[in-house]
Amino acid sequence: MQSVVVTLSVLIPARNEAETVAGVVRHAFDAGADQVIVVDSASRDDTAALARAAGADVADSDALAPELGPSVGKGDALWRALPLTTGTTVAFLDGDLTVFDDLLPRLAAPLDEPGTVFSKADIRRLDGEGHRRFGRVSQFTARPMLSLLFPEVADITEPLSGQIAASRSLLMSLPFEADYGLEVGMLLDVCERHGRTAIAHPDCGRLVHGVQSDGDLEAMARVVARTILDRAGVRSTEHTVRPAHES
């Protein structure tokens, strides 16, 4: 039987990430990525130019699937860019990271294990003094709700981590929440299809993640709560879901 050559594409959503995006691109290439695409969403700084200088291809999220109008969020931007990928494996890495350890290799490694189809990073977020901190929306919204409504994934300490790896074919078969509900929606959809044992949550080391305002976190918490409730059967019409590219 002919073996399949595994190649790796990395998608990096970014908006005004000039301070960090080049470092994330370099980390992806240093880790062996065959293709790196930065999906730029209306940045007003030098994000696109610095990403190109670091070797990435840059896609304007609004120019992808223009018939849908402007991109409406992180999940929408990644959904629009996914067909551009050529790798058998695709990883998502946030554009506002400062990476200290082997994030991408540790993230992709579990996919070599039989039965594992999806990998979501367990990361150690560091504050300015080097101490670990948990994301407030994860700690105070996502994890309590998941423990009550979906206890099978309650052991995942970073359910909102945007650092994800899976086969391209799996990602192409999933619907995408268009906004900040992407990560938790995808986690629950994969768990429903394949079971908790198919999901890896590897220790991917230390990183510094961009800090958001209290107002942004409030909006994110509302979106995350809505997405979890939606998967629990409490339906809402106040959001956009992009359909699977391939069934």
Contact 173, 246 (CB under 8 A): yes
- Whether the per-residue pLDDT at 1 is higher than 60: the answer is no
Question: Which residue's structure tokens are 């994301």?
Answer: 135
CA distance 209 to 185: 21
Helix (H) or strand (E) holding 167: strand 164-167
CA distance 89 to 165: 7
- Whether the per-residue pLDDT at 123 is higher than 70: the answer is yes
Whether the model pTM is above 0.85: yes
CATH superfamily of 8-242: Spore Coat Polysaccharide Biosynthesis Protein SpsA; Chain A (3.90.550.10)
Domain boundaries, the chain: 8-242
- Whether the per-residue pLDDT at 19 is higher than 90: the answer is yes
Distance, first Cα to last Cα, the chain: 26
CA distance 3 to 101: 30
Contact 180, 73 (CB under 8 A): yes
Tens digits of residue pLDDT in 51-107: 999 999 999 999 999 999 999 999 999 999 999 999 999 999 999 999 989 999 999
Per-residue confidence at 247, pLDDT binned at 50, 70, 90? low
Length of the chain: 247
CA distance 70 to 68: 7
CA distance 59 to 55: 13
Q: Collapse the DSSP code of 40 into the 3-class scheme (helix H, G, I; strand E, B; otherwise coil) and give the result.
A: strand
Average pLDDT of the chain? 93
Tell me how crowded residue 45 is: count the other CB atoms within 10 A of its CB: 14
